[in-house]
Copies of this chain bind each other. A is one copy, B any other.
Amino acid sequence: MPVGTQGTVKAVPQDTLESLGVEIILGNTYHLYLRPGHEAIRRMGGLHRFISWPRAILTDSGGFQVFSLNSLRKVTADGVQFRSHLDGSSHFFTPEHSIDVQIALGADIIMAFDECTEYPASRDRAEESLHLTMAWARRSLDHFRAHRHKVPWTDPKGCCIQCFGIVQGGMYRDLRRQCAERLVEMDFDGYAIGGLSVGEPRELTLEMISEVLPLLPKNKPRYVMGVGYPDEIEQYARLGVDMMDCVLPTRAARHALLFTSEGRLNIKNKQFAEDQSPPDPACQCPVCRRYSRAYLRHLMNAGEPLSATLNSIHNLAYYLAIMSRVRSSLESEPATPASDR
């Protein structure tokens, strides 16, 4: 899932995303709540209509962003007090409020409000944080069930909107297990594994995913949040992960980093000054079919806005092609669900 923090996948028009085959994008509740505001978006018929994106949208709970504010926030059992990074204004998010905001945005998939445990965290800290996350998961789900019909589009029973729970537990396998089991009892529509890719070594990320995945129902979406590099997403998808989101393809693109079948290219490098080959000779994306490395280098060096657009289109296409290949190979292989591995 490409990330569209503020209701736009940075620098890429919606019709381009469609032609790349993007089926779902992520919106950030924290950002959209602050600007333009969830009530404004509700009045305009929801996020899909506001940004003109008829395909699926998932919104996060705002939790991760709020916890990233560090000095600007204060956590209590009831919720989180935080200050806006835009104007310093004070706000209070509870699980109920996060769900209300997400229902107002009207995404197809909304996320339970959780606390993302920092890395490293002591066992005591991870356990305490986990209890908060599990209590908030319960409250999120109850509130979702009572208010899901309040989406801004015509869906009288609220049957189209789904709510996912988020497995936390720091880097402690038993805490992760405990959380997964409790969430599965609650019967969410899908399950995410959060609190990963927060600075831990990659073996640990893999260990946590491998621990949790078999505990999650195979007939519901399993989503690892905030990953990752191209080889990572392929690895996790082959383990049985159904969904991932990451700013990496678009953020890296804006910083001159292209992912290609020949490895990572820093397109600013002088070696590309007169390189007329496509960014990735093995790629069929519209950028690789039309433009050269030399031109992309020139755009980047000249500070041209087209640079971010073309680099992002290529990186997104590269990520989507990986997932497409994985899907094809899983379809042609005998089924070996993650829980059997």
Contact = CB atoms under 8 A, between A and B. Distances in A.
Contacts of A301: 35-36
B13 A295 contact: no
A35 B276 contact: no
B290 A14 contact: yes
B305 A274 contact: no
A292 interface: yes
A92 interface: no
A305 B10 contact: yes
A180 to B, nearest CB: 36
Interface string A232-275: 00000000000000000000000000000000000000000110
A155 interface: no
Count the copies.
Answer: 2
B11 A294 contact: no
A52 interface: yes
A302 B44 CA distance: 18
A50 interface: yes
A119 interface: no
A181 interface: no
Interface string A79-119: 00000000000000000000000000000000000000000
A298 B11 contact: no
Interface in A308-335: 308-310
A291 B50 CA distance: 8
**Which residue, A12, A13, A301, has most C-beta atoms of chain B within 10 A?**
A13
A22 interface: no
Contacts of A6: 298-299, 302, 304
Interface string A26-49: 000001000110001001110000
A294 B44 CA distance: 9
Contacts of A36: 273, 294, 298, 301
Contacts of A45: 276
A306 interface: yes
A62 interface: no
Contacts of A15: 286, 290
A104 to B, nearest CB: 14
Closest 4 CB pairs of A and B: A11-B305, A6-B302, A8-B306, A36-B298
8 contacts: A6-B299, A6-B302, A8-B299, A8-B304, A10-B305, A15-B286, A36-B298, A44-B276
Given A6-B302, A44-B292, 4 more contacts: A10-B304, A11-B309, A36-B301, A43-B274
